[in-house]
Structure 1
Amino acid sequence: MAREMFRCLTTTVTVPGVADLRPLRQARNTTLTAVAQHFGVWPTTISRLERGLSRDDDLAHAYRDWIQTA
């Protein structure tokens, strides 16, 4: 257990970037509200995710996949 804890504390974890989400959405003329409705979250959630103020890797991946195919 202690070895696993040490590994978790000392291993560098890469945080997926989200800087592409807002430009992708804007390039497709999609509103924050439309994205939020699609994923069942508040527009504020999408805005904070796009600006890097909150982190939700699953939502970010789903959002990226969705907006690229929209």
Structure 2
Amino acid sequence: MASDSRTREYVARQTAADRSKKEIIRLLKRAIAREMFRCLTTTVTVPGIADLRPLRQSKNITLTAAAGHFGVWPATISTLERGTRRDDTLTHAYREWLRAA
């Protein structure tokens, strides 16, 4: 209630509506629950990763070389290619770098 600007505005509106602090906290919990439910039930499209490893191998680029370019461990690139780790920013940059190589 003290740090988030949206929450402070909400608390100010509810206080102006003569709600007690206990009621405001209950309303905040309900709002958080609604927001979390929306996050959990919204379908998220995941970018495909099936092209990354074959593209890297077709250009004879090692995991170590790719990892060195991005300043990450080779295991990070490997888990990215296998789909066990999701990092959309790194995936996009990695795909663009492989296409340009």
- TM > 0.5 between the two? yes
Between the aligned residues of both structures, percent identity stands at 76
1:31 counterpart residue number? 62
Helix, strand or coil at the partner of 2:54: helix
When you count helix as a share of all residues, which structure comes out higher? 2
Which residue identity is paired with 1:63?
Y
**Structure 2 length-normalised TM:** 0.64
1:56 counterpart residue number? 87
Out of 34, 42, 47, the position equivalent to 1:11 is 42
**Structure 1 length-normalised TM:** 0.90
Helix, strand or coil at the partner of 1:41: coil
CA RMSD between the two structures: 1.1
2:98 counterpart residue number? 67
Structure with max Cα Rg? 2
1-structure distance, mates of 2:85, 2:38: 25
5+ residue gaps, structure 1, are none
Q: Which has the higher contact order (CA 8 A, sep 6+)?
A: 1
2-structure distance, mates of 1:50, 1:32: 10
5+ residue gaps, structure 2, are 1-30
Which residue identity is paired with 2:92?
H
